[in-house]
Amino acid sequence: MTQVSYIVAVDTQRPHLEAMLAGLRGQDGDFSREFVFVDDGSDDGSFEFLIEKTRCWPRTLLIQQRRQGPAAAALTGAKAATGDRWLFLDGDVVLAAGATRLLLAAAQEGGLDMLLAARTVCGAPAKHAFDLPGDAPQAEVVDGVHALLSGAQPPTRLMLMRRGLFRDPGFFDAGVYLPDFAPPLQAALAHRVGVLDAAVGCSLPDAPSLARRGGGQAEYDFSAAVAAFLAAHPELPARSRRAALCGCARRAWRAARANRGAGLTSRFFWLYIKALLRVPMDVSAALDDSLAAWDGADIRRSAPPKG
- Whether residue 211 lies inside any domain: the answer is no
The CA distances from residue 64 to 39, 47, 72, 73, 241, in Å, are 5, 7, 12, 9, 39
pLDDT at 303 over 60: no
In angstroms, rounded to a whole number, what is the distance separating the alpha carbons of residues 67 and 71? 11
Confidence bin at 144 (pLDDT 50/70/90) = confident
pLDDT at 183 over 80: yes
- State the chain's mean pLDDT as an integer: 90
3-state secondary structure of 249: helix
Claim to verify: residue 20 and residue 138 sit in the same structural domain: yes
Total number of domains constituting the chain:
2
The CA distances from residue 120 to 124, 246, 307, in Å, are 11, 29, 38
pLDDT score at 40: 96
Which value, in Å, is the radius of gyration of the alpha carbons in the chain?
20
Q: Which amino acid is at 108?
A: Q
Let me know: does 83 contact 61? Beta carbons within 8 Å: no
pLDDT score at 305: 45
In angstroms, rounded to a whole number, what is the distance separating the alpha carbons of residues 133 and 116? 15
Claim to verify: residue 132 and residue 245 sit in the same structural domain: no
Claim to verify: residue 130 and residue 193 sit in the same structural domain: yes
- Whether residue 266 lies inside any domain: the answer is yes
Q: Which domain holds residue 122?
A: 3-206
Claim to verify: residue 240 and residue 155 sit in the same structural domain: no
Claim to verify: residue 157 and residue 53 sit in the same structural domain: yes
pLDDT at 155 over 70: no
**206, 233, 254: which is the final residue of a domain?**
206
Let me know: does 186 contact 229? Beta carbons within 8 Å: yes
Highest mean pLDDT among 43-52, 120-129, 161-170, 188-197: 43-52
Claim to verify: residue 225 and residue 108 sit in the same structural domain: no
- Whether residue 304 lies inside any domain: the answer is no
Claim to verify: residue 221 and residue 202 sit in the same structural domain: no
- Whether residue 305 lies inside any domain: the answer is no
Claim to verify: residue 143 and residue 245 sit in the same structural domain: no
**152, 175, 206: which is the final residue of a domain?**
206
Claim to verify: residue 133 and residue 271 sit in the same structural domain: no
